[in-house]
């Protein structure tokens, strides 16, 4: 690093260093040429930020060369120039390095921290505000090419090159614009178009360099006073003029920045209180009323802890007269937030219903189609057939697609509802309370609801993927272990046995034979046919009325005939001849 290089190399020479936001200027003068020094400096220039560019001039007794990069050709130019002028050791050698800084990604380079701090402290504060307003774009990072401990505010961050940025909670653009809008509505700053805020100069972590701390404290106090005043402007490089209109109009024609710096802490607290939370216009008006009567013996406003306590106490009294309206608004916002949370839970419940329906479809298929049709009618081996496996896979894929589409639609519904809620609240209540207070009330709840919805979506998707995977894997395993087709002989034997059993149950001898022939035409089974004896039709006899027939004898004879017929039928059925 350049700073470390010039700190270590203490050869007798005159060194001049100037550093601003735009450039770094280094001039070193030697009594005689310093070849080793020039070579080392050339190597150090390789450590410059890639954002920046440089020019190096080497002048020996009026003869100079210029390089603008660290290529080997540039090193040869410097070396040759040193060799050409190495005859006279009394020649004066002058080295000038001019580095042009470029701000990229809201980042600016700082090479000599002490020199840069001095530049900030001696420059007119008005010029600093103009410069920073031009380059500050929500946040400003300073990459320091020397060893430092990080320090920062809500809008600026100083960190050592090569070290990670720890802070990430910069003031967001919406709040920044709200502050600047409140400034334009309630204050009039002459000669400067401010784009920086007092919070940009209020260091959360102080720097090790006290000059830096002093500059930031001064800038923070002056900006805070300008925000609170009705009108303000720079009278000179170190003086500010302002006017505050409250119960009385207080005009201060001149206040030096050193006095403002002493009261910087209190000024920042008063400004922050009036511009953050609640009704800004009312709080600014109350603050100006209190300041206009809190004066010292010379008639100037006293900025001390007493005025800070007085302002807060008066605001409590003010709230008691308007507390009901304020609470009504806050309660209404709370109801809308609760309704939003309820809708979020309803969306999550809809996803749970989709998951339940998917599981129900799979279980219904397994119970009604697979188990009933497979086990009852076709045997357990048909449960894991290729057809059923394909149906299960298709059902799982379709259900998965439906769950994913429902989850995507749920996210879109939530985002649309959240946007609508914020628009309604800002439209109806922005004239009563600040936009930032509405955002502070709504944004955390919406963020929590979004996190909850995302968590539920991930949970239901994991559950469904686990369920679908178990079902599909089970069917795949069953297909390869139980669902493979059997051999032809096994199928023939099984079909024979089934056909015989079916025919025997029906009692149809001819059907049994025909079925066996259909199963295996090579094997013929002969079953003797039952020869039916022609029935003789008897001529009705004439009953002699003289002869009396005993009814009991008739019944016994009929029973005996029936028994004989059954016996003959069994005999014929059991007679089989198999070739």
User: Which helix or strand (DSSP H or E) is residue 44 part of?
Assistant: helix 35-44
Q: Work out the number of other CB atoms within 10 angstroms of the CB of residue 321.
A: 8
**Distance in angstroms (rounded) separating the CA atoms of residues 408 and 413:** 9
Residue 532: the pLDDT is 43
Q: What mean pLDDT do residues 177-196 have?
A: 87
First to last CA, the chain: 111
305-312 long-range Cβ contacts below 8 angstroms, 24+ apart: 305/266, 307/266, 307/270, 308/266, 308/269, 308/270, 311/270, 311/273, 311/286, 311/287, 312/273
Q: What mean pLDDT do residues 31-40 have?
A: 81
Sheet of 93-100, strand order: 13-19, 23-30, 93-100, 53-60, 63-67
- Tell me the pLDDT band of 282, cut-offs 50, 70 and 90: confident
Q: What mean pLDDT do residues 484-491 have?
A: 50
**pLDDT higher than threshold 80 for residue 484:** no
**Distance in angstroms (rounded) separating the CA atoms of residues 302 and 310:** 12
Q: Distance of CA 482 to CAs 383, 385, 479, Å?
A: 9, 8, 6
Q: SS3 for 140?
A: strand
Residue 326: the pLDDT is 62
**pLDDT higher than threshold 80 for residue 373:** no
- Output 12 or 461, whichever has higher pLDDT: 461
Residue 482: the pLDDT is 67
Tell me the three-class secondary structure of 171-203, residue by residue.
Answer: CCHHHHHHHHHHHHHHCEECCCCCCCCHHHHCC
The candidate with the shortest Cα–Cα distance to 133, out of 54, 6, 223, is 223
Q: Work out the number of other CB atoms within 10 angstroms of the CB of residue 184.
A: 11
Torsion angles phi and psi, residue 98, rounded to 5: -120, 110
Helix 264-275 and helix 210-228, axial crossing angle in degrees, nearest 10:
50
Residue 182: the pLDDT is 85
CB 1 within 8 A of CB 40: no
β 140-144/107-110 pair status: parallel
- Tell me the pLDDT band of 55, cut-offs 50, 70 and 90: very high
Span of 49-58, 318-327, 469-478 with lowest mean pLDDT: 318-327
Residue 459: the pLDDT is 84
Tell me the three-class secondary structure of 290-357, residue by residue.
Answer: HHHHCECCCCCECCCHHHHHHHHHHHHHHHHHHHHHHHHHHHHHHHHHHHHHHHHHHHHHHHHHHHHH
**Distance in angstroms (rounded) separating the CA atoms of residues 251 and 301:** 10
**pLDDT higher than threshold 60 for residue 486:** no
Q: Work out the number of other CB atoms within 10 angstroms of the CB of residue 439.
A: 18
Span of 259-263, 308-312, 569-573 with lowest mean pLDDT: 569-573
Residue 575: the pLDDT is 41
Q: SS3 for 61?
A: coil
Dihedral Cα 428, 431, 432, 438, nearest 10 deg: 70
Of all residues in the chain, what percent carry a pLDDT higher than 70?
Answer: 74
Residue 296: the pLDDT is 83
Torsion angles phi and psi, residue 576, rounded to 5: -130, 140
Residue 198: the pLDDT is 92
Q: What mean pLDDT do residues 229-247 have?
A: 91
Residue 571: the pLDDT is 42
Torsion angles phi and psi, residue 15, rounded to 5: -115, 135
Residue 317: the pLDDT is 63
Residue 542: the pLDDT is 41
**Distance in angstroms (rounded) separating the CA atoms of residues 78 and 97:** 13
- Tell me the pLDDT band of 433, cut-offs 50, 70 and 90: low
Mean per-residue pLDDT of the chain: 77
Q: pTM of the predicted model, to two decimals?
A: 0.59
Q: Work out the number of other CB atoms within 10 angstroms of the CB of residue 263.
A: 19
Of all residues in the chain, what percent carry a pLDDT higher than 90?
Answer: 26
Q: What mean pLDDT do residues 102-106 have?
A: 91
Helix and strand numbers (H, E) in the chain are 16, 13
- Output 226 or 339, whichever has higher pLDDT: 226
**Distance in angstroms (rounded) separating the CA atoms of residues 305 and 459:** 54
Q: What mean pLDDT do residues 354-371 have?
A: 73
**pLDDT higher than threshold 70 for residue 443:** yes
User: Which helix or strand (DSSP H or E) is residue 235 part of?
Assistant: strand 231-236
pLDDT tens-digit series, residues 492-542: 555 555 554 455 545 544 444 454 444 444 444 444 444 444 444 444 444
pLDDT tens-digit series, residues 139-172: 899 999 999 999 999 999 999 998 888 776 788 8
Residue 545: the pLDDT is 42
Residue 574: CB partners within 8 Å, gap ≥ 6?
none
- Tell me the pLDDT band of 553, cut-offs 50, 70 and 90: low
Residue 369: CB partners within 8 Å, gap ≥ 6?
388, 391
Q: Work out the number of other CB atoms within 10 angstroms of the CB of residue 540.
A: 6
Domains and CATH numbers, the chain: 2-102 (3.30.1490), 108-303 (no CATH), 322-483 (no CATH)
Residue 148: the pLDDT is 92
Q: What angle do CA 366, 367, 369 make, to 5 degrees?
A: 70
**pLDDT higher than threshold 60 for residue 221:** yes
**Distance in angstroms (rounded) separating the CA atoms of residues 383 and 375:** 7
**Distance in angstroms (rounded) separating the CA atoms of residues 195 and 173:** 12
**Distance in angstroms (rounded) separating the CA atoms of residues 497 and 503:** 10
**Distance in angstroms (rounded) separating the CA atoms of residues 451 and 321:** 39
Q: Distance of CA 280 to CAs 58, 64, 181, 242, 283, Å?
A: 60, 63, 11, 20, 5
- Tell me the pLDDT band of 234, cut-offs 50, 70 and 90: very high
Sheet of 249-256, strand order: 188-189, 231-236, 239-245, 249-256
């Amino acid at each position: 690093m350049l700073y470390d290089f010039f700190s270590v190399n203490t050869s007798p020479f005159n060194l001049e260093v100037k550093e601003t936001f735009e450039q770094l200027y280094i001039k070193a003068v030697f009594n005689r040429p310093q070849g080793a020094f020039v070579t080392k400096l050339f190597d150090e220039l390789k450590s410059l930020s890639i954002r920046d560019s440089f020019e190096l001039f080497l002048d020996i007794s009026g003869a100079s060369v210029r390089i603008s990069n660290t290529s080997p050709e540039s090193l040869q130019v410097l070396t040759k120039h040193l060799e050409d002028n190495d005859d006279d050791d009394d020649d004066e050698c002058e080295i000038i390095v001019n580095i042009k800084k470029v701000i990229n990604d809201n980042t600016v380079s700082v090479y000599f921290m002490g020199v840069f701090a001095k530049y900030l402290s001696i420059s007119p504060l008005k010029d600093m505000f103009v410069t920073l307003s031009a380059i500050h774009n929500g946040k400003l990072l300073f990459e320091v090419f020397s060893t430092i401990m990080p320090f920062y505010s809500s809008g600026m961050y100083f960190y050592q090159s090569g070290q990670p940025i720890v802070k990430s909670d910069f003031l967001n653009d919406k709040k920044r614009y709200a502050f600047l809008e409140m400034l334009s509505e309630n204050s009039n700053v002459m000669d400067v178009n401010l784009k920086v805020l007092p919070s940009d100069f209020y260091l959360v972590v102080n720097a090790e360099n006290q000059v830096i701390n002093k500059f930031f404290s001064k800038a923070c106090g002056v900006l805070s006073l300008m925000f609170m005043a009705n009108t303000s402007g720079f009278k000179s490089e170190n003086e500010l003029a302002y006017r505050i209109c409250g119960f009385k109009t207080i005009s201060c024609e001149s206040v030096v920045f050193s006095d403002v710096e002493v009261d910087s802490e209190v000024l920042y607290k008063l400004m922050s209180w009036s511009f953050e939370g609640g009704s800004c216009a009312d709080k600014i008006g109350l603050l100006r009323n209190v300041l206009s009567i809190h004066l010292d013996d010379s008639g100037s406003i006293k900025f001390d802890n007493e005025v800070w306590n007085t302002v807060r106490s008066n605001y409590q009294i003010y709230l008691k007269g308007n507390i009901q309206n304020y609470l009504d608004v806050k309660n209404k916002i709370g109801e809308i937030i609760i309704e939003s949370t309820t809708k979020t839970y309803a969306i999550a419940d809809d996803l749970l219903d989709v998951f339940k329906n998917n599981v129900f479809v799979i279980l219904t298929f397994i119970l009604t189609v697979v188990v009933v049709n497979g086990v009852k009618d076709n045997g357990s081996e048909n449960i894991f057939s290729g057809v059923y496996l394909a149906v299960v896979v298709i059902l799982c894929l379709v259900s998965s697609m439906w769950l994913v589409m429902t989850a995507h639609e749920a996210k879109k519904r939530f985002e649309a509802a959240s946007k609508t809620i914020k628009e309604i609240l800002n439209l109806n209540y922005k004239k009563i309370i600040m936009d930032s207070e509405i955002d502070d009330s709504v944004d955390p709840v919406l963020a929590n609801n979004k996190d909850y919805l995302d968590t539920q979506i991930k949970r239901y998707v994991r559950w469904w993927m686990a369920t679908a995977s178990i079902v599909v894997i089970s069917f795949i395993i069953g297909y390869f272990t139980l669902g493979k087709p059997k051999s032809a002989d096994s199928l023939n034997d099984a079909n024979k046995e089934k056909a015989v059993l079916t025919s025997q149950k029906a009692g149809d001898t001819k059907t049994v034979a025909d079925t066996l022939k259909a199963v295996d035409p090579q094997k013929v089974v002969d079953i003797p046919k039952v020869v039916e004896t022609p029935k003789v039709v008897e001529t009705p006899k004439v009953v002699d009325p003289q002869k009396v027939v005993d009814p009991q004898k008739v019944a016994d004879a009929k029973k005996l005939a029936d028994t004989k017929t059954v016996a003959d039928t069994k005999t014929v059925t059991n007679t089989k001849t198999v070739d």
